[in-house]
A and B are shown apart, each in its own frame.
Chain A
Amino acid sequence: MSQVLRSKRRRGLTVALVAALSAAGALTIWGAFGAHSAAPRTGPLTIHAGLENPPGAFVRGNGLFAKNGGRSQLVAAVSGAMIGPLSSVAVRSPDGQFVAYNTWQELRTVDSEQSFSKQAIAGGDALGTPSVRIRDDSGKDSLLERGAYSAAWRQDGAIAFVKGVEPQFRAGRSYDGQVVVRAGIHGHDAVWTKEPAHYVVYAWAGNRLLFYRVGLGEKLELLVADAPGSIRSLAEGSAIALSPDATRVAVLSQDATNVRLLDVATGGEVAWLDVTTATPPLAWLAYSGSWVSDHIVAPASAGLAVLHVGSRSLELEQVLSLDRSQFPVGVQVPRFVDADGNEIAASADIPSAKGTEAVSFLLVCDRIVRSCDRGEPAPAKEWLRLVDRTPAANEGGH
């Protein structure tokens, strides 16, 4: 009896060993050749230092860096002081010849930890002047407009931006402006808004312009202009991304929990998703993500979220979580950097604490193997950001 049992046990062990070796072999082959055909899965991102090749051009301070690492000097340092992540800090023209970038001329040094009164800053004192500059491929760097910010290129080379009622940003005053469209770098201006307000230009959707009105309490309202003076409210909230064909926009509710796909032309809702009841549930998403093919990537409470877009549906496909001890405030402005929507680049800031200076990193992540390469740290005030591309017709939007 015991011999029979022993024999059965030995045969069972042999089968188990063969099965284990087969599984290990299959895993090795899958790991080597099949990773990118695998389904993306939710899970933590592992971060490795030593990003060697950024996925595209980027800006930092007064430098414009090519993908191959070459550095070009900018006349003024880049800054998103007036836009934060609402709009591109630097964006390339559709023909690739020009880069429009935001700058900030500080007229008065402001200690962010002290009140204005402590620094003898009175209401109405000029604190700085935002400007948009253009750099071309030959190295020519010219001022597009002083007292302006948030530039977006149209396919025909027209450029939209916000032009302040007056150039200076002043203590105790709202920075009101008008949305202006310049017909090319040296073209004439047309004012597209009817009255001055605190606007930020987001992007063109074909010949329609998407822009924000920033209200009391920084409440964001996404507006669409079909033509000069023809303005509609698209949504209370912010834009995550434009569809590749620029006909739809994914908008985020004020409370950052609901995503709606809207038809830009009609404002009609195409699909809807509550991320707090998705699987896995998320506390929030954030604006300024990217859309390639049928995938959207957005900053999320956990790190990054990838949504799958159907013809009339929206689903949470993947959540990529970041270690909060490493990246306490997560990432901003994630961008798909490959056509398949598998690689994501983003900026990650680490706030100042206990006398240390705040720093920024570029992260480039493969969402299939859930691994990121991290670039060198840069002072956060140098605005290390990828240069956004203006999508060609029928190409992915940001």
Chain B
Amino acid sequence: MKVRAAISAAVLAISLIVPADAFAYLTWFEFTRQSNIASTLTMAWQYGPGFYGTQSWRAGSGVSTDACWIGHGWLPTGYYDLWGHWNNYDGKIAGRVFYLQNKPCWNGTWRTELFVHSEETAGQGQYCPTAGDDPYCWEGPSDYYSNGCIKVSRAGYPSDLRLVHDGWHGKSGDSRHGYFTINNWLYVRDG
């Protein structure tokens, strides 16, 4: 009898703290800068007051650690809004991409055109026509280098990119694509 009461109480407590849509949690990302090709991207979601879940992946950004170096240094620290998300983006960056707000670095240089992405085609495939470094092909750890964007691996199944992408939709319950804004979607800090 006591056990049944305890279970009922626990179920009641969980039902009170879990949102009505059990699959729509406040979800955001953190990028911890450790090195250009071995930093950590973490997805965090709040499934109740004081209750958080996290999942982390290896990620990279930039070639150098100077955040004021356009097209060369890693992302500046701070909070970023998300400005859009596409599944089949078709440009020099392609496939599943998350578009970040612009950000000034410590001397005021504006860093722009920044994304979270990987190396895949607009159709989310791999295109590896040469023995060298192909832009839509994940060859290995050197692909973590970027001009400033955050990059995750496209290797393996499921790839880290897929886990990031599906994790975002799954945890946030946000299925939007195209241009839209989510406040404070990413926090970049030093590790």
Name A residues whose Cβ lies closer than 8 Å to a Cβ of B. 79-86, 104, 110, 112-118, 123, 169, 171-172, 174-175, 198, 214-220, 238, 254-256, 283-284, 286-287, 301, 328-330, 332, 349, 351-352, 358, 360, 380-381, 383
Contact = CB atoms under 8 A, between A and B. Distances in A.
Contacts of A80: 107-109
B181 A123 contact: yes
B108 A218 contact: no
Given A112-B104, A114-B78, A174-B113, 7 more contacts: A81-B104, A115-B101, A117-B183, A172-B102, A329-B68, A349-B106, A380-B68
A214 B107 contact: no
B71 interface: yes
Interface stretch (B3-11, B19-27, B79-87): B79-87
Nearest to A82: B110
B104 A84 contact: no
Interface of chain A: mostly helix, strand, loop or mixed = loop
B96 interface: no
B33 to A, nearest CB: 11
B117 to A, nearest CB: 7
7 contacts: A85-B68, A115-B80, A214-B112, A218-B113, A349-B107, A358-B106, A381-B108
Given A214-B71, A217-B113, A351 B106 contact: yes
Contacts of B126: none
B38 interface: no
B71 A218 contact: yes
B163 interface: no
Contacts of B83: 123, 172
Contacts of A330: 64, 66
B95 interface: no
Interface in B55-84: 63-73, 76-81, 83
Which of A174, A301, A380: most chain B Cβ within 10 A?
A380
Interface in B142-172: 142, 145-149
Interface in B96-129: 101-115, 117
Contact of A117 (B64, B81, B91, B142): B81
B93 interface: yes
B184 interface: yes
A186 B147 CA distance: 38
A284 B146 CA distance: 12
B63 A256 contact: yes
Contacts of B79: 113-115, 118
Contacts of B67: 351
B133 interface: yes
Contacts of B81: 115-117
Which of B65, B109, B184: most chain A CB closer than 10 A?
Answer: B109
A110 B104 contact: yes
A254 B142 CA distance: 12
Contacts of B117: 217
Contacts of A219: 71, 92-93, 147
Contacts of B113: 174, 198, 214-218
B147 A218 contact: yes
A110 to B, nearest CB: 6
Contacts of A301: 64
